Amino acid sequence: MGIDGTLLVLGASRDQIFMIDTARALGLRVVAIDMDPKSEGFAHADESAVVSTRDVPAILDLVDDLRLRGHRLVGVTTMGSDIPDVIAELCAALGLPGPSRETARIATDKTRMKIRFRERGIPIPWFEEIDRVERLREIVAERGLPLVVKPIDRSGSRGVFLLEAGCDLEALFARSLAFSRVGRCLVEEYLPGPQISTETILSGGVGITPGFADRNYELLERFRPQFMENGGWVPSSVTPAQRRQVEDLVVRASLALGVTDGVTKGDVVWTPDGPRMIEMAARLSGGDFCESLVPLGTGINYVETAIRIAIGEQPDLGALVPTRNRCVANRYFFADPGRLVRIEGVDAIRGEPWLVKLVVRYGAGDVIPPTTSHAERAGVFVVVGDDRAEVQARIDRVYQSVRFVVE
Ligand SMILES: Nc1ncnc2c1ncn2[C@@H]1O[C@H](COP(=O)(O)OP(=O)(O)O)[C@@H](O)[C@H]1O
Ligand SMILES: [Mg+2]
């Protein structure tokens, strides 16, 4: 028997389609909203509306209308969109389960988050919020380089820069600051070491972390001084003991943010001193992590669990155990800026059974902007195989085959 009721999903882009489909498979009626009338997710939902996912009054009006038409709203949620503040506001107004306003405030302000983590003994890099380049110069004189500068209120690597010897501190600080909606930046100690993405599901203060991927940064040189990962790996190559340490850390970090029933997405670095948190978001990832890497690699669909929590059910976390162990990777396409003439080589590989997904964002004639964040990515693909060597060979084949011809 399916679940009765209506779930409101904020966002109807590709990032939310997996959630819309999963909710409908559970029996829920799904209403999806997005400000883009051409959103692909609309066709997946039972009903849709062209409303901004940040416009709380308009969404509350929509909910009134839904209720008048007989909908029984049981939850409001999203994935891939960093709007816990909106979700918290709506859930509070509608009496639905969701992140608290306090959680949302901390999770969307990297300074508040680091202060909270420091208070709770969560290992993090040294940090300071700065408002002028003179202070940055003093810090560089005191602490040396490398350092990292980032806006406190953005995501997707927007405005996150590595400060290295010889760099133009003033220019990078100004660029980073320009990305901040509130005009605030953080400077941080640079943490060396492999980076891990996690997704934790919490219910009644108990957390488990079925999402666990190694992040791939081989394009660091190409995008320097920007941090741009180009995909991830499941399973991670950390040892079981290391994995337990990271899992313990991200559950403690989730509770420090006040998330006892919900989801969190962690950015962790395995430093020479053990794992440390870069940040944690109070939401599920978009893209491929929870919708492809983890389900294909482990058989676990925790988006379903996240939906159950968002409608106030108490899920059985013990059921979130892997049913298979396959190697999966996703990789991004980044194209040079310019007008796209054509994309070559897609048909040649499209039918390969190991290529689970290949999506390009641009079509012929589109003007591709310079890549300054993940928002400008040209596409993504997902590859499966028996082990990393096999998957890597397949990744190489895709990258060799697909070419974005730009003028
Ligand atoms: N202190 C740091 N040490 C090492 N790498 C960092 C640090 N801060 C950020 N990064 C790199 O930059 C990426 C983006 O920074 P992050 O703080 O996670 O901001 P965003 O909200 O844009 O994801 C991280 O995933 C990581 O690869
Ligand atoms: Mg991050």
In the sheet with 262-271, reading across from the earlier edge strand, the strands are 274-281, 262-271, 195-203, 206-215, 231-234, 327-333, 379-385, 355-360
Query: What is the CA(278)–ligand 1 centre distance, in A?
Result: 6
For ligand 1, what atom is nearest to the CA of residue 125?
Answer: 1
- Domains of the chain, by residue range, sit at 6-96, 126-189, 198-321, 326-407
Q: Which CATH architecture has domain 6-96?
A: 3-Layer(aba) Sandwich (3.40)
For ligand 1, what atom is nearest to the CA of residue 190?
Answer: 3
CA 19 to CA 281: how far, in whole Å?
Answer: 18
Q: Which CATH architecture has domain 126-189?
A: 2-Layer Sandwich (3.30)
Among 284, 334, 233, 370, residue whose Cα is nearest residue 87: 284
Along the 407 residues of the chain, how does pLDDT read in single tens digits? 578 899 999 999 999 999 999 999 999 999 999 999 999 999 999 999 999 999 999 999 999 999 999 999 999 999 999 999 999 999 999 999 999 999 999 999 999 999 999 999 999 999 999 999 999 999 999 999 999 999 999 988 999 999 999 999 999 999 999 999 999 999 999 999 999 999 999 999 999 999 999 999 887 788 899 998 899 999 999 999 999 999 999 999 999 999 999 999 999 999 999 999 999 999 999 879 999 999 999 999 999 999 999 999 999 898 899 999 999 999 999 999 999 999 999 999 999 999 999 999 999 999 999 988 888 899 999 999 999 999 999 999 999 999 999 99
Q: 326-407 has which fold?
A: D-amino Acid Aminotransferase; Chain A, domain 1 (3.30.470)
CATH node for 198-321: 3.30.470.20
Among all bound ligands, the one having the nearest atom to the CA of 229 is 1
Query: What is the CA(157)–ligand 2 centre distance, in A?
Result: 7
How does DSSP classify residue 262? Answer: E
198-321 and 326-407, same CATH topology = yes
Query: What is the CA(219)–ligand 1 centre distance, in A?
Result: 15
Task: State how beta strands 161-163 and 338-344 pair.
Answer: unpaired
What pTM does this model have?
0.95
Among 147, 151, 148, 156, residue whose Cα is nearest residue 179: 151
For ligand 1, what atom is nearest to the CA of residue 195?
Answer: 27
pLDDT (0 to 100) of residue 1: 56
How does DSSP classify residue 226? Answer: B
- Ion ligand 2 neighbours, Cβ < 5 Å: 267
CA 394 to CA 391: how far, in whole Å?
Answer: 5
Q: Is the Cβ–Cβ distance between 219 and 228 less than 8 Å? A: yes
- Name residue, tokens 């991004």: 332
Q: Which amino acid type is present at position 264?
A: T
Q: Cβ of 389: how many Cβ atoms within 10 Å?
A: 10
Give the residue whose CA is nearest to atom 7 of ligand 1.
Answer: 190
Q: Is the Cβ–Cβ distance between 180 and 159 less than 8 Å? A: yes
Query: What is the CA(160)–ligand 2 centre distance, in A?
Result: 9
pLDDT (0 to 100) of residue 220: 77
